[in-house]
Amino acid sequence: MKLQIIQPQEVEVFYILPAIRSGMAAAMKKQGMSQKDIAGLLCVQESTISQYLSSKRAAEVKFNDHINKEIAAAVKRIKTKSDLVRETQNILAMAKSEKILCRVHESVADLPAGCDVCFLRA
């Protein structure tokens, strides 16, 4: 039985954002940063970083090579909270445009076939 997650924004909050943070944490760790410093930059607890790095959290979503490369490039630009928000929003936009959001949404919610609600314009 699928969850009653209806809104695309819920998918972003519960699945996509944690996956982005997890990817960022892995890229920062690869650069030699400590978990404490990573936690400070990503504005999360150090225990959260530990769970990201051990795949105990945010392991459901796998990004394609393009987005993984963008995440790796983005972490090099993150020095402030504003940088974090900007880079995260850019990656969220990519996840949406590459229909990763749709793929996850379809996997967790009971949506009608051919749903394109994430792409409706006002």
If one counts every other C-beta atom within 10 angstroms of the C-beta of residue 76, the result is 11
More confident residue, 67 or 10: 67
Name, in order, each residue with C-beta under 8 angstroms of 90's C-beta and a sequence gap of 6 or more: 70, 74
Which structure tokens are listed for 1?
């039985």
Give the per-residue pLDDT at 122: 42
CA distance 24 to 26: 5
Give the per-residue pLDDT at 105: 83
Is residue 45 predicted with pLDDT exceeding 90? yes
Which structure tokens are listed for 25?
């944490």
Task: Show me where the domains of the chain are located.
Answer: 8-110
Alpha carbon 42 to its chain centroid, in Å, reads 12
Which structure tokens are listed for 17?
């954002």
